[in-house]
Amino acid sequence: MKKFLITYLAPASVIDEWKKTAPEKRKQAEEKMQAEWKKWMNDHSKMFDDTAGVGKTKRVTGEGTADTRNDIMLYAIAEAESHDAAAKAFKDHPHLQIPQASIEVMEINPLHGM
């Protein structure tokens, strides 16, 4: 089995707009998505080693460190037979209901000797 880094992305601007939605409407939609997400994760649980949300971002460059934002909301480490099989597993993921959302699947290549 190969390992893959999965990133769940949604534009920060979309999330900012979503936060302006009426609280009751937002709560209802979030509960629906959470239930669908839990079902999806339960159906695919054998492929995951780790899943977590990510917090605020710091960008480090040669000039220093600064606060920044990116589109990554969560990450996971998953196992699959191939890159195509890993990507195919996410085709109906509830995260994709978020406008302009995407999921990126990257094979993890160990760097031996580093």
Q: Is 100 left (phi over 0), alpha (psi -120 to 50) or beta?
A: left
Give me the mean pLDDT over the 29-47 stretch.
Answer: 95
**CA gap 14, 5 in Å, rounded:** 23
Residue-level pLDDT at 4 = 98
pTM above 0.85, yes or no: yes
> 56 or 112: which carries more pLDDT confidence?
56
Going along the chain from its start, the domains and CATH numbers come out as 2-107 (3.30.70.1060)
**CA gap 11, 8 in Å, rounded:** 10
Tens-digit pLDDT profile for residues 46-104: 999 999 999 999 999 999 999 999 999 999 999 999 999 999 999 999 999 999 999 99
Residue-level pLDDT at 112 = 85
Residue-level pLDDT at 114 = 74
Residue-level pLDDT at 104 = 98
**CA gap 4, 64 in Å, rounded:** 30
Residue-level pLDDT at 113 = 81
